[in-house]
């Protein structure tokens, strides 16, 4: 059984660069190329949604020059995605607090979202300035404002109502999350949505993550019994 929704934490770009005596920026660029190549493979496999952790709310604490280079890189790659959209059927959207990004970058994201909104292939969701706790906090504030203005009854706020206030609505929750680089943590990613996702951790660094590595993860997923807290 193939997952409908795949989530990825692409860890290891910096370590990949360090092993090769390269600057961190080269690791990020190599990682971006890996995403670009694998997205076509993921689409061909019939997976409907891919949510990918690009930049977290905590990543702003990294050295300023690294953050600057990273933002410069994603500007370039998003322009490539705009160009690619003329010849592929992928839809792209974004989650996270995008208001902190530079206006020109926000404009690129808006352009990509608009020109791909009617495409029916793989839906790629990129998490930028995203944090799971931040998303949940913003959702709570949104519901609180609705309640204050009388548009929602607080007593009727259930899990479904809360999920509708999240950045990821109306996407289904991920079935499988892959984390590269070997670390065993969620790193503030999709804390609500990953409640019953299957996890696959690999020591492979993200720039080295190939189609063969992806197939290993999917084979592992196929062998899981998904009980969602119940019994089969």
In 57-188 the beta strands, taken as DSSP E runs, fall at 91-95, 123-130, 176-179
Q: Which two tokens stand for residue 189?
A: 């990613």
Residue 150 lies in a domain: no
Residue 26 lies in a domain: yes
59 among known catalytic residues: yes
What residues make up the domain containing 14? 5-131+173-222
**Res 227: pLDDT:** 76
DSSP-based three-state secondary structure for 85 = coil
Query: What percentage of the chain reaches a pLDDT higher than 70?
Result: 99
**Res 226: pLDDT:** 76
Residue 159 lies in a domain: no
> How far, in Å, CA of 210 to CA of 49, rounded?
19
Provide the residue-wise pLDDT of the chain in tens; the chain has 232 residues: 899 999 999 999 999 999 999 999 999 999 999 999 999 999 999 999 999 999 999 999 999 999 999 999 999 999 899 999 999 999 999 999 999 999 999 999 999 999 999 999 999 999 999 999 999 999 999 999 999 999 999 999 999 999 999 999 999 999 999 999 999 999 999 999 999 999 999 999 999 999 999 999 999 999 988 777 776 6
Question: How many separate domains does the chain show?
Answer: 1
Residue 229 lies in a domain: no
* Catalytic pick among 59, 84, 97, 208: 59
Residue 167 lies in a domain: no
Q: What's the CATH code of the domain at 207?
A: 3.40.1180.10
Question: pTM value?
Answer: 0.95
Residue 230 lies in a domain: no
Asked if residues 14 and 24 have their Cβ atoms less than 8 Å apart, the reply is yes
């Amino acid at each position: 059984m193939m997952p409908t929704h795949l989530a990825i934490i692409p860890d290891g770009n910096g370590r990949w660069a360090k092993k090769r005596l390269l600057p961190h920026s080269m690791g990020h660029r190599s990682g971006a190329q890996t995403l670009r190549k694998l997205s076509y493979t993921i689409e061909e496999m019939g997976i409907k949604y891919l949510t990918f952790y690009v930049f977290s709310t905590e990543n702003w604490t990294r050295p300023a020059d690294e953050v600057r280079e990273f933002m410069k890189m994603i500007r370039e790659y998003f322009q490539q995605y705009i160009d690619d959209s003329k010849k592929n059927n992928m839809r792209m959207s974004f989650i996270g607090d995008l208001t902190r990004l530079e206006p020109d970058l926000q404009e690129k994201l808006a352009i990509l979202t608009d020109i791909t909104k009617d495409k029916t292939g793989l839906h790629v969701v990129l998490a930028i300035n995203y944090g799971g706790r931040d998303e949940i906090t913003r959702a709570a504030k949104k519901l609180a404002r609705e309640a204050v203005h009388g548009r929602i009854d607080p007593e009727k706020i259930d899990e479904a109502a809360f999920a509708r206030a999240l950045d990821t609505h109306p996407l289904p929750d991920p079935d499988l999350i892959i984390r590269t680089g070997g670390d065993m943590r969620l790193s503030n990613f999709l804390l609500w949505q990953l409640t019953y996702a299957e996890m696959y951790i690999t020591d492979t660094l993200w720039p080295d993550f190939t189609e063969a590595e992806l197939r290993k993860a999917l084979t592992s997923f196929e062998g899981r019994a998904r009980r969602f807290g119940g019994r089969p």
